[in-house]
Amino acid sequence: MSQDTLVKRQFGHRARLALSPAEVSKTDGQAHAARTLWNCLHAWWQMMPKDKRTLAAADAAIRQARKEIDFLAVLPAQAAQAVLKTYHQAWKNCWEGRADAPNFKARFRAVMSVDIPQGRDLNIVRVHRRWGMVNIPKVGRVRFRWTKDLPVGKRADAENRITGARLVKDVLGWHIAFRVQALQGRPDPHQGAEVGIDVGVTVPLALSNEDHQDHGRPPRLPDGTADRDKWLTPKEKAKLLRLEREAAHRKTFRKRGEKTSRRLRHTYDQIKQLRAKATRRALDWQHQTTTRLARTYGVIVVEQLNITNMVKSARGTVEEPGKNVKAKAGLNRSISQEAWGRTVTMLAYKLARHGGELVKVPAPNTSRRCSACGTITPGSREDQATFVCKNPGCGFEANADWNAARNILHLYRIGHVIVEVPALGSRGRRAGNTVKPAAAM
């Protein structure tokens, strides 16, 4: 295979670690030291004049802090350097308008993580079919679940290797996320059909060819309110309700300023486990669905949605209070649960892996326009689930999501494709989007 047909790809793989109580304590200590180092670095950055906020000065400050504070010595030196690089990158993202300014990390709200920037320090070995061994600096050799073939041993070379990893803790315990670099063959252009997709709440993914993807979980309860625990079984929902009531009851006995009791922390952990189970089920459905779509279709067209603006609260102000605040809050919760942005991200990299293409088109009026006659007639969307064209010469009637998906595909076919403008505005934010014909791309 020639070099022209090869492409270098970088992806991640997450595996669960099997740590002993002593190893968990050591890893927790490293994570707390990394968070403390971040907070010290942030305090130093705010106190220093702007002309002295350099990487060299920050590196010297970190080295001095590790000498003076014994608690920070449990963190490996390379992991401390990774904290500095991550912090500096956070400021670069802020300056370029991609994120907000970095802030202090709270003990209980921040994600516990430790970076291992050098892949050669891992020394990964496969023990047998289900388990592998990895070296964690200042912790030792630990086991992890082997669920994916990794480029280790004789399979590793300069182009196919593990470049680093990150230790991350969630409610299920510690996991290791490997950063993998692989040289793979460039996929042939996908010969599948074109399809438009409209994301929604009632129908998660409505396709223009009526091959709708539904996870079978109703978004609302019989009383009309949003079901935020739709990925749990009725038995699990009852258990979650009981635990939340217990936590609320036990919280009334805690005085202001007192530490959370062990019993209350245990109840919180049980609630987190149920929430994590629901999140894993939703993520698993998204992965399976997007993989199936990427293998089936060559071009997938979606809307360019500003989800952040869509889920803004309707509460308003004291002078001008909002209307239908409770209903809007339920809709916002349902939109957040469907994770439309994550679905589009999955489709983007999976289509690229299979030789397909993801295209975005403008979102305005895709749900109000009739896909049969192309007109926008007031009153066509009186029913949220059904589209009935009020044009006297048309009368087209169909599912509202399917009608929108057909409009999305039609916009792509007539050339209304969104092209991201690389130029940045005066404050570092994107200047905007433009529309170009598909043939000009």
How far apart (Å, rounded) are the C-alpha atoms in residues 341 and 358?
Answer: 13
pLDDT digit string, tens, across residues 80-93: 999 999 999 999 99
Sequence-distant (6+) residues with CB within 8 A of 9 are 181, 182, 183, 184, 353
Residue 291 CA, chain-centre distance (Å), reads: 16
Task: Assess if residue 279 is contained within a domain.
Answer: no
pLDDT of residue 428: 38
Supply the mean pLDDT for the chain.
83
Global pTM value:
0.79
pLDDT at 36: 93
Higher pLDDT, 24 or 318: 24
The predicted model gives 281-308 an average pLDDT of 89
Looking at residue 320, its pLDDT comes to 65
The pLDDT value given to residue 436: 45
Confidence band (pLDDT; 50, 70, 90) for 224?
low
What's the average model confidence in pLDDT over 167-190? 88
Q: Is residue 56 in a domain? A: yes
My answer on whether 356 and 345 are in the same domain is yes
Give the whole-angstrom CA distance, residue 431 versus residue 277.
Answer: 40
Cβ-contact 193, 24 below 8 angstroms = no
**Phi, psi values for residue 81, rounded to 5°:** -65, -35
Tokens for 236, please give them: 């699990």
Domain assignment present for residue 205? The answer is yes
Same domain for 121 and 205: no
Q: What percent of the chain has pLDDT over 70?
A: 90
- Which pLDDT band, with edges at 50, 70 and 90, does 189 fall under? confident
Q: Of 164, 186, 208, which residue sits at a domain end?
A: 186
Last residue in a domain, options 144, 163, 186? 186
Whole-angstrom distance, CA of residue 425 vs CA of residue 441: 23
Note whether 298 and 431 are same-domain residues. Answer: yes
Please indicate whether residue 153 or residue 27 has the higher confidence score (pLDDT).
27
41: containing domain: 1-186
Q: What percent of the chain has pLDDT over 90?
A: 32
Residue 160 in any domain: the answer is yes
The answer to whether position 193 is within a domain reads yes
Amino acid of residue 424:
L
Whole-number pLDDT of residue 230: 84
Segment 266-289 shows an average pLDDT of 91
Taking residues 296-318, report their average pLDDT. 78
**Which structure tokens are listed for 225?**
């309110």
Residues 11 and 133 in one domain: yes
Residue 358 maps to a domain: yes
Confidence of residue 388 (pLDDT cuts 50, 70, 90): confident
State residue 314's pLDDT score: 67
Is there a single domain that holds both residue 8 and residue 134?
yes
More confident residue, 352 or 220: 352
**Does the residue 237 lie in any domain?**
no
* 1 and 145 in a common domain: yes
Using pLDDT thresholds of 50, 70 and 90, give the confidence band for residue 78.
very high
- Which of 74-78, 250-254, 330-334 has the least mean pLDDT? 330-334
Q: Do residues 107 and 216 share a domain?
A: no
Give the pLDDT band (50/70/90) at residue 1.
Answer: very low
**Do both 321 and 437 map to the same domain?**
yes
Q: Check whether residue 165 and residue 296 sit in a common domain.
A: no
Query: Which stretch of 154-158, 309-313, 342-346, 393-397 has the lowest confidence by average pLDDT?
Result: 309-313
Q: Are 334 and 353 in contact (CB under 8 A)?
A: no
What would the pLDDT profile of 260-276 be if each residue is shown by its tens digit?
888 999 999 999 999 99
Which backbone phi and psi does 136 adopt, to 5 degrees? -110, 120
Q: Give the best-scoring range by mean pLDDT among 83-87, 104-108, 387-391.
A: 83-87
Query: pLDDT digit string (tens) for 345-378?
Result: 999 989 988 889 899 988 888 888 888 888 888 8
Number of domains in the chain: 2
Residue 151 reports pLDDT greater than 50: yes
**Residues 116 and 209 occupy one common structural domain:** no
Q: Going by C-beta distance under 8 Å and a sequence separation of 6 or more, which residues neighbour residue 55?
A: 84, 88
Q: Higher confidence at residue 91 or residue 225?
A: 91
Q: Note whether 294 and 353 are same-domain residues.
A: yes
Q: What are the structure tokens assigned to 134, written together? A: 């990895």
C-alpha torsion 117→120→122→124, nearest 10: 140
pLDDT value for 28: 94
* Same-domain status, 295 and 393: yes
Q: Is residue 235 part of a domain?
A: no
Asked if residue 275 lies in contact with residue 229, where contact means CB atoms within 8 angstroms, the answer is no
